[in-house]
Amino acid sequence: MTASETNKNELLSLKGIGPKTAGALERLGIYRVEDLLHYYPRDYELYGAPKPLYQLTPGQTEAVEGVLVREPVLNLYRGMRIVNAYLADMTGRLQLSWYNMPYIKGALKTGQRYVFRGRVYEKNGRLLMYQPKVMEAESYRKSCAGRLFPVYPLTKGVTGRLLQTAVAEALKGQSVREYLPEEILQRQALSGLSEAYQGIHFPKGKEELLRARKRLSFDELFLFLLEGGRRKRRQERQASAYRCRPDLRLIRFIAELPYSLTGAQQKALKEIMADMSSGRIMNRLVEGDVGSGKTVVGFLAMLYAGLNGFQSVLMAPTEVLAEQHYETVRSFLNRGELPLSAVLLKGSMTAAEKRAALERIRNHEADMIVGTHALFQQQVDYDRLGLVVTDEQHRFGVAQRYALTEKGGAPHVLLMSATPIPRTLAGILYEDLALSVIDALPEGRREIKNCVVGPSYRKTAWKFILEELRKGHQAYVICPMIEKPEAGEGQELPETTLFGTEGLENVTEYAERLRGMYPPEIRIGVLHGKMKAQEKDQVMTAFQEGSLQLLVSTTVVEVGVDVPNATVMMIENADRFGLAQLHQLRGRVGRGKAQSYCIMINTSDSERAAERLEILNHSNDGFYIANEDLRLRGPGDVFGLRQSGELRFRIADIYQDAELLQAAREESGRILSEDPELQEHRALLERLRHAFPEEYRGA
């Protein structure tokens, strides 16, 4: 029996999961019972005490209790079957509506007391509740009132109710083995692992949830730092087989560039060249703000390796970005007339193209290799691979980076990230790496003009975008959702549809709306994460080449390609995103000579959301934004917005958990100083093997 079949059988042992559901769970990355326990809720719903009708506020999700005052009515509206009912208490009356749930009509009894829970809307001066959940009053008081219920990311074939049932079954039958030493649990006041799983999935209250989140966040940070510390110790003992020597041709090449490197770029390059010349293996991170020119520094490091007779690779997260980097490398080589050659390797190449590229790499007929994940596939054989450059390093897992460096026999490693992280946090997170910071933009780069506005500004923004498109420029519109979700049993009606209230915008409908408003000659494209890789690349290539003028997209363009002609970035529901991600998105414009603009639509009434967005409104400095974000985001904010753009922890957040990060650093350092090989901590070593399997192949 294969490992895949064993894992699937493991899921099938849980009540309520059949082969079809197990297949759907795999789309969520859930293959084993342990994966299910680590599939943490994205949010929680607090089921509060029912409110009198006169206290209801439009836009809030509430529970109400009362008596149905008349028989529910089934109506047809634009092809949909809608059930309407009316609830009354001593303070007023409330309309309740469900669409495409006709069975509700027979389930409700006139004169009986119920609790309904749902989002409150206002229409024509009346309060309404759409798609509310229905419970008998006594049952609600006994099993729901005052409790937090998990809300999970879902996919087709997997409902929230199914996930809750499956997790409950897993917790019931799973024997959770504790691996943290008792002294750490006591010193850091951490709950046990079994208790933490229970508390994160089914908390009895906010305090229990906070304790669970603290333990599981600590685990992620601690294991990450522990493995980083072990790698650092191994690297420090290892001499480099790829020691580089200064070469006048590189100095001459830099002097002949059509632009001058900034002081920050020069400093970073000097640090990189010193590492590569030291006789030790370089492990360095270049952290540069959006548009700071960090990729140029990476190219120059590859030239340095090539002029010393070593191959180098540049790994990009997307094929479109890899192609752009390849063309830039080729232009570098042509400009300097250097005796080096470049090759592109990507998954979508034909078999013949791939064979030719692999042959050139194997025979060292290619000095600089640019590509995607295809670079570390088994059939790729390098000849004296001396440098690995990983662009947007957070997009690749530890295992992927390790697989590539292993192929080269311990080459120099240069990681690059466009996500500014406060230096206090970066020094801990990247303790196993030397750090170079490029914190100055190239001369002549025009600052992006920002504005934060409410939804009422949309029509003005659309008109402004059309004016920019007619000038020959291009624009992005970012939406948080791919498409309108369909409401079913127990689901709330999306705010975006049917009843016209504001809510989360989705790419699919937004693009159609703009196509209906804009002249037919305006070419509009759509991009989102559910598209196949080839489709995404086709859309991005069309936008890059200018055959598409407006791109309506989700955040998949966060790490995209340079489109210097794009001058407007409009971000819908900007209050829903973390500051780091907003800054990354904004960085898609402002790359050409024309003035660029970023319009952020704030759909929240929260003062905190307004304060956060004002930071972006008044600054384009990613390092300042990162520090302000750290100041605003205190520890223990369970419902705070998760960041995107930096390290992808499942539950930990480096901003919320800054103090926990420091504690994890101290504990991991203490263990490694006393037991560097973890001989006395076998449970910890086993956990590391499980968390970072590629690090322990053959161990």
**pLDDT in the model for residue 559:** 64
**pLDDT in the model for residue 437:** 87
Between 2.40.160.10, 2.60.40.10, 3.10.450.50, 3.40.50.300, what CATH number should domain 244-278+293-417 receive?
Answer: 3.40.50.300
Chain mean position to CA 674: 36
Helix axes 682-691, 206-236, angle to 10 degrees: 90
User: Average pLDDT for residues 30-55, to the nearest whole number?
Assistant: 90
Give the range among 53-67, 112-126, 366-380, 395-409 with minimum mean pLDDT: 395-409
Per the CB < 8 A criterion, the answer to whether 568 and 596 are in contact is yes
Give the tens place of pLDDT for each residue, 589-623.
988 889 999 999 998 878 888 898 999 999 888 88
Q: Please, what is the end-to-end C-alpha distance for the chain in angstroms?
A: 24
Q: What percent of the chain has pLDDT over 90?
A: 43
Cα atoms in the Cβ-side hemisphere of radius 13 Å centred on 131: 17
Chain mean position to CA 493: 26
Same fold? 244-278+293-417, 449-493+501-619: yes
Domains of the chain, residue spans:
49-145, 244-278+293-417, 449-493+501-619
Model confidence, pTM: 0.76
- Please determine, for residue 226, whether its predicted confidence score (pLDDT) is greater than 90: yes
For tokens 């000097």, name the residue.
270
Per the CB < 8 A criterion, the answer to whether 116 and 63 are in contact is yes
- Please determine, for residue 576, whether its predicted confidence score (pLDDT) is greater than 70: yes
Closest C-alpha among 100, 443, 92 to residue 264: 443
Per the CB < 8 A criterion, the answer to whether 278 and 305 are in contact is no
**Topology of 49-145 in CATH?**
OB fold (Dihydrolipoamide Acetyltransferase, E2P) (2.40.50)
Per the CB < 8 A criterion, the answer to whether 223 and 688 are in contact is yes
- Please determine, for residue 459, whether its predicted confidence score (pLDDT) is greater than 50: yes
Residue type for position 349: M
Give the range among 251-265, 328-342, 656-670 with minimum mean pLDDT: 328-342
Average pLDDT in the chain: 85
Give the CATH architecture of domain 449-493+501-619: 3-Layer(aba) Sandwich (3.40)
Nearest-5° Cα angle at 475, 472 to 476: 165
List CB contacts of 135: < 8 A, sequence separation 6 or more.
Answer: 114, 115, 116, 117, 144
Closest C-alpha among 390, 405, 387, 412 to residue 281: 412
Q: How many residues does the chain have?
A: 699
List CB contacts of 513: < 8 A, sequence separation 6 or more.
Answer: none
- State the SS3 of 527-591: ECCCCCHHHHHHHHHHHHHCCCCEEEECHHHHCCCCCCCEEEEEECCHHHCCHHHHHHHHCCCCC
List CB contacts of 470: < 8 A, sequence separation 6 or more.
Answer: none
Task: Write the DSSP string, 187-214.
Answer: HTTPPPHHHHHHHHHS-SSHHHHHHHHH
Give the tens place of pLDDT for each residue, 262-309.
999 999 999 999 999 999 999 898 988 877 888 899 999 999 999 999
**pLDDT in the model for residue 57:** 87
- Please determine, for residue 5, whether its predicted confidence score (pLDDT) is greater than 60: no
List CB contacts of 659: < 8 A, sequence separation 6 or more.
Answer: 635
Give the tens place of pLDDT for each residue, 167-215.
999 998 777 889 999 999 999 999 999 999 999 999 988 899 999 999 9
- Please determine, for residue 684, whether its predicted confidence score (pLDDT) is greater than 80: yes
Per the CB < 8 A criterion, the answer to whether 514 and 570 are in contact is no
